[in-house]
Structure 1
Amino acid sequence: MEILELLKKITPEIIEIIEKRYLILRAISYNQPIGRRALSGELGFKERTIRDEVSILKNQGLLNIDLMGMYITDDGKKILENLHSIYGNLKGIPKLEERLQEILGIKKMIIVPGNSTENSMVLKDMGKITSRVLKNIIQPKDIIGITGGSTMAVVAEEITPDNKSRDIMVIPARGGLGREVETQSNSIAAKLGQQLGGSYRLLYVPDGLEEKALELMLKNEEIRESMEMINNMNTLVFGIGRADTMAKRRNLSEERIEELINKGAVAEALGHYFDIKGNEIWEFKTIGLSLEKFKSLNNVIGVAGGEEKAESIISVSTLNSNMTLITDESAAEKILEIVNEATK
């Protein structure tokens, strides 16, 4: 955007103003109604700064204030939507996306400004973008798989219902993992199916089962039908896990975790553990989508943020070049740092 470069040159202070007001509008939209003090704590701005900026935004008709707190107006929502891309350009996001897309060799790279580990609003933004990407690619009769985890839970929550009825099926891409219901793949698949106006099918099987137990489970007609749908899915939305984090979630022994780390494991996907080059180190037998099926899918949307996920993202990106990766600025910058260091 040439006009943005011009603004940076002639009035560099305007960049700071745009960023500040964008962050305020975004924070209010996610937390409304919210008071000035709470907003100050959320953003780390001084209360005086919040008071001054809020007064300007209110006078512009972008905010309303009552006894409950501040709300964003319809005009404010429109401005905020337009500011998303402007803010991204100010941060140099498009150039970073182009460079990392080429480095990782994937179909598309989408970067959200900020750090999702430190700011929950960044993760919500990633969820909203995932929603738009998914709605743009799904077709009637599609079978959409989704994994579990906290990131996928946010993705499902941020899918905005549009009152459309879609002839699609959403199904968990793997069995249940962990004890928290909200982050189970079953719960997330049901939520996603409802939000998209489609149908959903559940998989009443834990993620890890011994072979004999699995054979018994597959004699159940409902479970067998769910597994057939998983094998026939054409779109996958999944979170990218760190090897050590996922090993602990699966309650692997300390010896096994240490062995994986010593062998260079940095990522986990569908029960498989990989080094940074995408070489498989070990497989934990799981119920759900196979690695072979994952590699053959044409529509794959990976979502992960935080610089601690950088190595995991690099690793998993080698597995399927059809991947659309949605990440945050902190992870993107760390990926670039790792790649640059490796090429010295």
Structure 2
Amino acid sequence: MRDIEIIKKIVPEIDEVIQKRYTLLKFISYNQPIGRRTLSTKLSLKERNVRDEVEILRKQNLLKVDNMGMNITCEGKKVLDELNDIYIYLKGIPKLEEELRDALNIKGVIIAPGNCKESDIITKEMGNITFRALKETLQNGDIIGITGGSTMAKVAEQGVFDNIKRDIVVIPARGGLGKDLNTQSNSIAAKLSEGLGGSYRLLYIPDNLEKEALDYMLKNEEINESINLIENINTLLFGIGRADTMAKRRNLNQEKIDSLLDKGSVAEAFGHFFNIDGEEIWEYKTIGLSLKRFKKIENLIGVAGGEEKAEAIMAISSLNTNMILVTDESAAKRILKIRRNY
């Protein structure tokens, strides 16, 4: 990127211009068709400023504007893809990824610029990054596990079938949790397999089933087959949850939640609650992938964004160094700050 540095010496404002126009194109690509007023509101920009920038992009054949709003053109998509590396370089993302990978001592880190709590397109971008990272690792015969939750739902939503049929199976890594159908692991597994061109299996049991009931249900051939597949997962996609949030989703009483937090719980994974160093505080008996199996999986992609997830990310990252973390800029900077003061 030496050429960019030379250009910046002559045109210092080029940094700001590229970032602004890249953000406009990216936001429009995820929300098209969209009107100027909505765009200015979402990006906290003056409508006049948006109008001027849009007109420049339209004249370059990067945007099409009609009565329905703005849409990105084929040329615009091409430019957006080619501009991505320049944008993340200007934001200092490659250096941040390297620092965070070393700090967490994991296989890899991919950072989406921005804060997912301030813009939904950052969450969508994290989903897009995760889907691309998964496709790069796929091999025939893979058994892919995926957990539930809103983050994994975003990953599945970003999957676009590329007309390639793959000999893979997608399976929910855990039983069902919560009441929202869209964030259930079964729904997400089916959606992800569609985008990957593979097949899927479902797990028709809740995450907190009692042992006696589970033993009875395992007599069902289909359920037993799903449990066996889970034990042979070789690639796992999972969201990283805060201890307090997950404790509430599991309907723990307030006394138990307070006790977990008093003992230093910051993260939950597969029914286990951990402190910031990855030490187990308490186990809630659940159905699906075990912690022991999780620690042995070679292909792991964990996804979480927002600085409030920083301590949870640190805790879970310590459990398996094979992990690739997909996160956002705000969480990355918060983790490094905690590390420096730890």
Regarding TM over 0.5, the answer is yes
After TM superposition, list the pairs within 5 Å mapping 1:22-101 onto structure 2.
Answer: 22-101=22-101
What is the CA–CA distance in structure 1 between the aligned matches of 2:164 and 2:298, rounded to whole Å?
Answer: 24
Match of 1:327 in 2: 327
**Aligned letter for 1:70?**
M
Match of 1:212 in 2: 212
Deviation of 1:12 after TM superposition, in Å, equals: 2.0
After TM superposition, list the pairs within 5 Å mapping 1:175-194 onto structure 2.
Answer: 175-194=175-194
Deviation of 1:178 after TM superposition, in Å, equals: 0.3
What is the CA–CA distance in structure 1 between the aligned matches of 2:231 and 2:270, rounded to whole Å?
Answer: 13
SS at match of 1:302: strand
Deviation of 1:10 after TM superposition, in Å, equals: 3.2
Match of 1:240 in 2: 240
Deviations 1:39-59 (A, max 9, x none): 111111100000000000000
Deviation of 1:267 after TM superposition, in Å, equals: 0.5
Match of 2:309 in 1: 309
Deviation of 1:14 after TM superposition, in Å, equals: 1.0
Residue-pair matches, total:
342
After TM superposition, list the pairs within 5 Å mapping 1:6-21 onto structure 2.
Answer: 6-21=6-21
Match of 1:199 in 2: 199
What is the CA–CA distance in structure 1 between the aligned matches of 2:4 and 2:303, rounded to whole Å?
Answer: 29
Deviations 1:11-50 (A, max 9, x none): 2211111111011101111111111101111111100000
After TM superposition, list the pairs within 5 Å mapping 1:255-270 onto structure 2.
Answer: 255-270=255-270
**Aligned letter for 1:32?**
Q
**Aligned letter for 1:247?**
A
Deviations 1:262-291 (A, max 9, x none): 000000111110000000001111100000
Deviations 1:106-135 (A, max 9, x none): 000111100011111001111111111111
What is the CA–CA distance in structure 2 between the aligned matches of 1:161 and 1:44, rounded to whole Å?
Answer: 34
Q: Which runs of 5+ in 2 are unaligned?
A: none
Quick check: 7-16 or 301-310, which moved more? Answer: 7-16
Deviations 1:218-251 (A, max 9, x none): 1111111100000011000000000000000011
SS at match of 1:171: strand
* Identical-pair percentage: 64
Deviation of 1:190 after TM superposition, in Å, equals: 0.5
Match of 1:167 in 2: 167
Quick check: 7-16 or 42-51, which moved more? Answer: 7-16
What is the CA–CA distance in structure 2 between the aligned matches of 1:8 and 1:246, rounded to whole Å?
Answer: 46
What is the CA–CA distance in structure 2 between the aligned matches of 1:253 and 1:87, rounded to whole Å?
Answer: 46
- State the Cα RMSD in Å: 0.8
What is the CA–CA distance in structure 1 between the aligned matches of 2:13 and 2:310, rounded to whole Å?
Answer: 32
What's the TM-score once normalised by structure 2's chain length? Answer: 0.99
Q: Which runs of 5+ in 1 are unaligned?
A: none
**Aligned letter for 1:57?**
L
Deviation of 1:180 after TM superposition, in Å, equals: 0.1
Matched, 1:122 2:115: no
**Aligned letter for 1:283?**
E
SS at match of 2:295: helix
SS at match of 1:296: coil
What is the CA–CA distance in structure 2 between the aligned matches of 1:163 and 1:69, rounded to whole Å?
Answer: 30
Match of 1:133 in 2: 133
**Aligned letter for 2:138?**
I
What is the CA–CA distance in structure 2 between the aligned matches of 1:282 and 1:209, rounded to whole Å?
Answer: 18
SS at match of 1:324: strand
Matched, 1:300 2:297: no
What is the CA–CA distance in structure 1 between the aligned matches of 2:286 and 2:75, rounded to whole Å?
Answer: 49
What is the CA–CA distance in structure 2 between the aligned matches of 1:114 and 1:312, rounded to whole Å?
Answer: 19
Quick check: 210-219 or 51-60, which moved more? Answer: 210-219
**Aligned letter for 2:53?**
E
What is the CA–CA distance in structure 2 between the aligned matches of 1:22 and 1:37, rounded to whole Å?
Answer: 18
What is the CA–CA distance in structure 2 between the aligned matches of 1:168 and 1:27, rounded to whole Å?
Answer: 33
Deviation of 1:217 after TM superposition, in Å, equals: 1.5
**Aligned letter for 2:211?**
E
SS at match of 2:152: helix
Deviation of 1:9 after TM superposition, in Å, equals: 3.4
**Aligned letter for 1:88?**
I
Deviation of 1:3 after TM superposition, in Å, equals: 2.3
What is the CA–CA distance in structure 2 between the aligned matches of 1:119 and 1:290, rounded to whole Å?
Answer: 34
Deviation of 1:5 after TM superposition, in Å, equals: 2.7
**Aligned letter for 2:160?**
T
